[in-house]
Structure 1
Amino acid sequence: MNSLIVETKNLGFSYGKSGKDIQGMDLRVPQGSIYGFLGPNGSGKSTTIRLILGLLKKHEGEVAMFGAPMESRTRLTNLSKVGTLIENPSLYGHLSALENLRIAAKYRGKITEERIFEVLEIVKLAHVGSKKVKAFSLGMKQRLGLAIALLSNPELLILDEPTNGLDPKGIIEMRTLIKELNTKYGTTVFVSSHLLSEIEKTCSHVGIIRDGKMLYQDTVTALKNAKGDQLQVALEVDKFIDALAVLETQGVKLVENEDGMLLVEIGCKSDIATLIDGLRTKDVAVYQVVIKNSLEDLFLTLTEN
């Protein structure tokens, strides 16, 4: 995963004369990765996607896809290798899933009937291929939109808020599909989302932006380690005084008493078991253990003003 499937250098863009909506954006999406693109509402995620796809004309900087500059002479070739799902797909509700796919296939050209049935299998909709789309759940519609994006067997899949509005079952289904497309078919996936827990569970790489600027870009693992070697853990216990005595004995640092829970710092995950064993030895019941160094915690730390 050394080569970059998407790369921007010093990318800049503004909708108006005052200020810049995208400033000096250096985006690097490794081939074969699942790249999570995170940022608060209005941070420039959708604008960046439009610039990458050439739907907006950049004001400065460079955009490259598949190692080739995104220019008028290369744009169609580059986009032929890309599938996109931008929020809720536009579908014909009075038609079946198969009929929707056949219409989309005509626009793309050179899409076989075999490929249409194949993408239905991939998104787990083969059993409802003849069903009218108006009877689909939102999750099923999202998966059909994903099937349309997969018709041309793209090397890069760009998903803008693919789980927006989905219920927990639909979110899990979409997460599973994204992982399967990456591991089974080798598709590079670029996911813009505000659901941080899903990015943490799904993505290998992450880019975090605010006000059109890249704040952090690396692997998800590196981001979690960016706060240093200390791991913050919140503990819910029944005997605070006895628990504090155990913390002092074990040399564990108490950060604060947070919402009725003890927030402590330890060296690594294996120290959690040692700490819990020590608490139990002193008859301190542990009701809950929460690791606080999640992607969500780190995201909020990076993006807070």
Structure 2
Amino acid sequence: MDVRHLELLRDLAERGSVTAVAAATRRTPSAVSQQLKVASREFGAMLVEPAGRGLRLTEAGRLLAGGGLEVAEAVERVQATWDKFRNAPSGAVALAMLPSAATFLLPQVMHELRGERIELRCTDVDLAEAEFGGLVADHDIVLAHSLTSRAPAGTEGLRAVRLVREPLDIALPAKHPLTRRQAVSAEDLVDEDWIGVPVGYPFDTVLQAIERKTGNSLRVTQRLRDNRLIEALVASGQGLAVLPRFTTREERGLALRPLLGIPSRRYVFAVMRRDRAERLAVRRVLDAFVRVADAVTQMGA
């Protein structure tokens, strides 16, 4: 049994197409297809079948793909045991991170890991909640967001560790009349213009909740991803927005107020493939994120 064939089947299960596997492993699609044929001959069973213009795993292929994950987990556990024996977690750890979460977590994590033989390879990615799970194919740890305390949608079968519960506040221009209040209600907000985020992002669900509670449609004039850009627009009087409490700077000409009567918070998770979560270096980095997140929560940021 060639472990490399199990790994190939696992890659196809995770990435969904021969083309995606080829791109990720720097091979041609024809080379990947040829290796799948060799694997089928080795195991004596059809492991893939045509699906449109591509290939998909058969039941036998899915079974062996699951075995590939188990083998990978076992190998990583042995490596972790060896690294622990040598007292030397080391190597590169690839991070894909939601920027607005990384802003209050990553600097202190990097400070904590200073001097260790771990190299962090960081990528900032702003996606809808359900899209973060796909990033684990190419990254060891993914910082994702969820509107609920449950793991983000699309991360089923992955290891997910909850790091932070962050309030989402209503951002107002500094001179807006509502800033005279300590908190605002849904009814206070229905006649305002809004700078929103794309549908599918946690912040947008807060606006949807306001609409459901009041029975009114909100005027969303723009849908943007960059929180700093949204802050600038709010500060200039272009509308209100939902923004995260820990990284929004009120001195930029805006004010934050809690929203009454509607749950308005997001949860930040560290999401990992189960085999990669066994690596000692990955566990060390995860532990650093957990400690920093705990400190942020205790401080109330």
Same structural fold, with TM-score higher than 0.5 when normalized by the shorter chain:
no
TM-score norm. by structure 1 comes to 0.30
TM-score norm. by structure 2 comes to 0.30
Per residue, is there more helix in 1 or in 2?
Answer: 2
Higher RCO, 1 vs 2 (CA within 8 Å, ≥6 residues apart): 2
